[in-house]
Structure 1
Amino acid sequence: MSFFKKLKEKISGQAEVITNKFKEGLTKTRGAFEKVEDLVRRYKRIDDEFYDELEEILIGADVGVTTVMELVDDLRSEARKQKIENAHDLQPLLSEKLVGLLKNKEEDLSLNIEEDRMNVILFVGVNGVGKTTTIGKMAHMFKSQGKNVVMAAGDTFRAGAIEQLEVWGERVGVEVVKQQQGSDPAAVIYDGIQAARTKKADVLLCDTAGRLQNKVNLMEELAKIKRVISREIPGAPHETLLVLDATTGQNALSQAKAFSESADLSGLVLTKLDGTAKGGIVIAIRNELNVPVKYVGLGEKMDDLQPFDPEQFVHALFAGAIEKEEEENLGE
């Protein structure tokens, strides 16, 4: 059984709506990966030129030079080991390797949320990446699950950040704890904890300012916020999520590296994946940072923030190849 067929069977028991969300959300990126399908059709046998073209295609899809070189070397080695000579037979192996890159077998991609405690999630990321929108969508998601949610407007630096979070609070029916612009972010988070305690909230979502111009200030500010949180709630924050804009490609990777030096990240959220042809950056970031991607933004609707699923992601990238294989099997 080919990896494509295994992949199809693995996700067939999941909701079709989720499969469609990934396929629709990755339409632009799929265009870049369809070049792999064209490459496979043009080459009957695998040779050095084939691998060179494959490298160019994957780098063009923003999979990242370092990741691509490692991936192609691994493919060469595996192809020799399995005595694969036909280019068509290499594509399922590529898909299998991509799924392996996106998730370690022992890794849990779900959020660290437990019953009978206040779960604190801290969001970090530069301005303009969709951080506040992500927080609002996640508040909507938790509320839809019947959880009591509070948001803390800890980004007191960016003009309009507090008001933007308030708009989301009204939209989803969640309380927003705030102070004036320019206030101490750690003080806002402290107030948020007290308000969440009073409301017996299940989840506290904390926004923070995203300033990379001065990493020293960023580190000090995040460290202070974390001290306040852990002092009030031992073991918290339970998640520190870095929000990245997928449309910025390699710049998102640079941001991820900078924040990983400044904050102890537990996961990544990639926004605007539906708006880019370079969704391969998900693979580059995951591989080079060794931090799991936990959520992806696949559209502008409130329910378009989806838990990241490596199988769904790769299935969507190679949807054309999977459908072609099914057609060929039916014709046999």
Structure 2
Amino acid sequence: MKKSDFYFELPERLIAQHPLQQRDASRLLVLDRADGSVTHRHFRDLLDYVQPGDCIVFNNSRVIPARLMGHAVGHTTPTEVLLLTDKGDGLWECLTRPGRKTRAGVELTFGDGLLTATVESVQADGNRLIRFHYDGIFLELLDQLGTMPLPPYIKAKLDDPERYQTVYSKTPGSAAAPTAGLHFTEDLLTALEQKGVKLVFVTLHVGLGTFRPVKEDEITDHVMHSEYYVMDESAARTVNETRDAGGKVWAVGTTACRTLETIADDTGHVRAQSGWTDIFIYPGYRFKAVDHLVTNFHLPESTLMMLISAFATRDMVMDAYRQAIDEEYRFFSFGDSMLLY
């Protein structure tokens, strides 16, 4: 399949620049995969679709303030460093700008020397491996010196950084939010539990590879980025018990979906494990673990468009997107939501 098969024209005015005041007031486009029909609802109406005995799988990763502004030692030109992946022992894979200022061996300083770093190597894709030097707790220094790495299509300032976190975020490590979960409120989570729905939490730390465009014309030539995931014993047991009892497994977002599909065997059962996934899901893929998918509206020609086109069909998804544009849904991270039922 061609990358262009997943292209659509989106008016810029439909790219949401701010989150809604009430998270679950966003709109919900429901795509019935049985016949391709589309229904327009609101996100809180998700309660009407989830049934007692189902389980919903959420990604509880928390976005870290991963954008640091500093400069090379002995220079005054600002240098931007964006943390992507924690390699352990103070070593991070990063994006830097301007790249010419961050060659191997360059020393960097942030916050008047409160945090320093050494560029250890430049990778083939241009990312840097940077080792940070500090006293104290690294995440506390990030809270002090870093800023939230909003996607490039959001130009407006975010007044409350918590609005780029899910209400159930717990484990720090993402460079971008698992945005399908931004619509959930504490009240909605409580209502789901009261209905007899089981809530399951996994962790997948979202990298900025999510926003990288597919450059190859043939999508099968695309090399997927890797992301770290964790599923514990309790989560695996609940997913398997749901499947064995005939309940449906819901994934909130493509990150939860990719985690489940990475771990699941051919029967849809999962086991507790952690590791790195670079699973690339596109039309032709047979889903094993996920029965229903809650997701946001995605960038044209993105790997996320390809995933949801595999979950439904490309024609169904493209038609639903045309209807969403006609109805002036809000798109991307702070936008409205979609249920592939």
Larger Cα-atom Rg: 1
Greater per-residue strand proportion: 2
Task: Assess same fold via TM > 0.5.
Answer: no
Greater per-residue helix proportion: 1
